[in-house]
Structure 1
């Protein structure tokens, strides 16, 4: 697992801390550690920065001058991509899908959208259920017609190149666990576009670290989510020269906590945001870590995680809270 073989741009503050959450641990009846990938630094931090180190590295290696990507309106990935482009002297073109159907002023103009604009990204909004792959191709063609050299990054930065960022995170977690003499029972993360969970699974498998990764789904039903994760983890293992390392039984996603849909808030998410903030001072986001913590709390209360030592991947996204002020501001 020699990651120096791949083009890379150093954008993140690494390694990110691994910190115990003592009051959440007591409340949930387990030993909970937080992998603070909200502290990666770029644009306020978040998990996409790890992926962008390899994706932007590949873009520069290909002599591209414009990053092209897509996401939902309050996309954390788009925010960090726009910042990475600015930091590397690149242009950035983004397509934002109105995926939740919200037209609230704060949702459409505050939070991550405000930061996208501040970083200088060219933004185009499209309706829900738009073919985003086709829109990426169209935007890339537009850049070429203007004489630019586009590099297309899929939603979430989730391809095998981007997943290398979470191969590296898997290595960090194992090193830090050894330093703290922690025997980990499992790693828990939000899983959506699959790059974080897929990269972790591939990295742990290639290292031979027998630590299960549980993804808490934020969008797709379990069969679809697990298939996406398995496909990406396998592709990542192939890039690492170990195609046999990943097996289907290593991929587990619990998609019982999606609620009404991607980016939609429910009382369980609000409780998770409140609990994390008021026990251990952790700011979660409403779309990913809020739903992952909602699932973790429910699983702990069911006894499924009793007495375990668990690492929760904090993938960042608190900037998105400001896009949901009109929806959740009065619920605390």
Structure 2
């Protein structure tokens, strides 16, 4: 896949590592579990949004925008990293935060909320859960335009046809690493929420000679709705890149068994998964995305979904700063 014609910034030095989780694999009696450490990506605190922002910020700069407006939940990793990228590019950044759980926002909260202040967001607008986030961002854009600025709106999670390019490129990176290390991966397990990571991986793997099945563990939507969302973005990204050989809809696979009571709401399985990986491998997950995704992987292993000689790659999409706002769950 040729990305040379698409503007791109560089926020990470080199590929993120793929590590073998020997202790966890033995603890769960197989399969062999590997982890793609995208928590090591650049910008403040790392995480998967960095890959998307390399393309999104480049597009904003190409359009001569001097202000970024984006949105997310009140503990949004995407908002943290978008703000960080804007600071690096020396442009303004305004955040619109959705209070998905009523009365859950506190201006003195820790985790990502603290980092919004450390990074000095130009503004934070908190809106009720279920708000039309595009319209809310457009309201901020009008205020910014009245001040003589040129805003650039980045959607939730950076998940549009430009942001998804980050994980199409990541799929190429993974395939190169697996070839160099002579590892044959049977499945990739990824969190799936705003859908850019999942759609990008599917596109990148579909364009390669080593197409690996990808299982998304949903953190918010039910299976059918999430699969439709991913496939729509997959089609839009394919069209953006003028790719003729389209990925079949049957390649989009999502499991919704691990959402629990809802997005960002803790579950016993998530707490166990976060503790298990930390105490066996010294790696931190987050309570919203990777914690629930690891819960899904652990449960699938325990229910014999995989063969014991399979090799599974877990996508660590970052987000550990949010962990510090859930301290009471782990003490």
Q: TM-score, normalised by structure 1?
A: 0.96
> Post-superposition shift, 1:102?
4.8
Are the aligned partners of 1:171 and 1:203 in contact in 2 as well (CA < 8 Å)?
yes
**Does the 8 Å CA contact 2:286/2:319 hold for their aligned counterparts?**
yes
In structure 1, the residue corresponding to 2:44 is in which secondary structure? helix
Q: Which residue of 2 aligns with 1:134?
A: 135
In the TM superposition, what is the alpha-carbon distance from 1:167 to its structure 2 partner?
0.6
Which position in structure 1 is the counterpart of 2:251?
250
Alpha-carbon distance in structure 2 between the residues aligned to 1:76 and 1:101: 19
1:325 aligns with 2:294: no
Q: Distance in 2 between matches of 1:255 and 1:117?
A: 34
Q: How far is 1:128 from its partner?
A: 1.4
Task: Kindly indicate whether the alpha-carbon contact (under 8 Å) linking 1:206 and 1:237 is maintained by their aligned counterparts in 2.
Answer: no
Any idea what the Cα deviations from partners look like across 1:114-158, whole Å, max 9, x if unmatched? 111211212111111111111011111111111110010000000
Residue deviations 1:37-90 (CA, integer Å, cap 9, x gap): 000021011000000000000000000000100000000000000000000001
What secondary structure sits across from 2:261 in the alignment? Answer: coil
RMSD in angstroms over aligned alpha carbons?
1.3
Tell me, what secondary structure is at the counterpart of 1:3? coil
Aligned residues: 328
Q: Aligned equivalents of 2:115 and 2:244: distance in 1?
A: 39
**1:152 aligns to what?**
153
Partner of 2:212: 211
* CA contact 2:39–2:317 (8 Å) conserved in 1: yes
Find the residue that maps to 1:211 and give its secondary structure: coil
Counterpart position of 2:289: 288
For residues 274-313 of structure 1, what are the structure 2 equivalents within 5 Å? Answer: 274-307=275-308, 308-313=310-315
Q: What is the CA-CA distance between 1:296 and the residue it aligns to?
A: 0.3
- Structure 1: gaps spanning 5 or more residues: none
Structure 1 residue 100, shift from structure 2 partner: 2.3
Residue range with higher mean Cα deviation, 234-243 or 217-226: 234-243
For the 8 Å contact 2:99–2:105, the answer to whether it is kept is no
Matches within 5 A, 1:3-22: 3-22=3-22
Contact 2:271 2:330 in 1 (8 A): no
Please state if 1:163 is matched with 2:172.
Answer: no
Paired residue secondary structure (2:124): strand
Aligned with 2:162: secondary structure? helix
Quick one: distance in 2 between partners of 1:3 and 1:157?
A: 18
Q: Is the 8 A contact 1:65 1:149 kept in 2?
A: yes
In 2, Cα distance between equivalents of 1:231 and 1:208: 23
More helix by share: 1
| 2:26 alignment partner in structure 1 | 26
Pair 1:117-2:112 in alignment: no
Cα-to-partner distance string for 1:211-268 (whole Å, 9 max, x where unaligned): 1111000000101000011111121122222143311011000011000000000110
Aligned residues of 1:230 and 1:251 also touching (Cα < 8 A):
yes
C-alpha separation in 2, matches of 1:186 and 1:243:
25
1:73–1:108 Cα contact (<8 Å) kept: no
Unaligned runs of 5+ in 2: none
1:69 alignment partner, SS class: strand
CA gap of 1:55–1:104, structure 2 versus 1, over 3 A, is: closer
Question: Contact 1:166–1:196 (CA<8 Å) still a contact in 2?
Answer: yes
Cα deviation for residue 24 of structure 1 reads 1.1
Q: What is aligned with 2:318?
A: 316
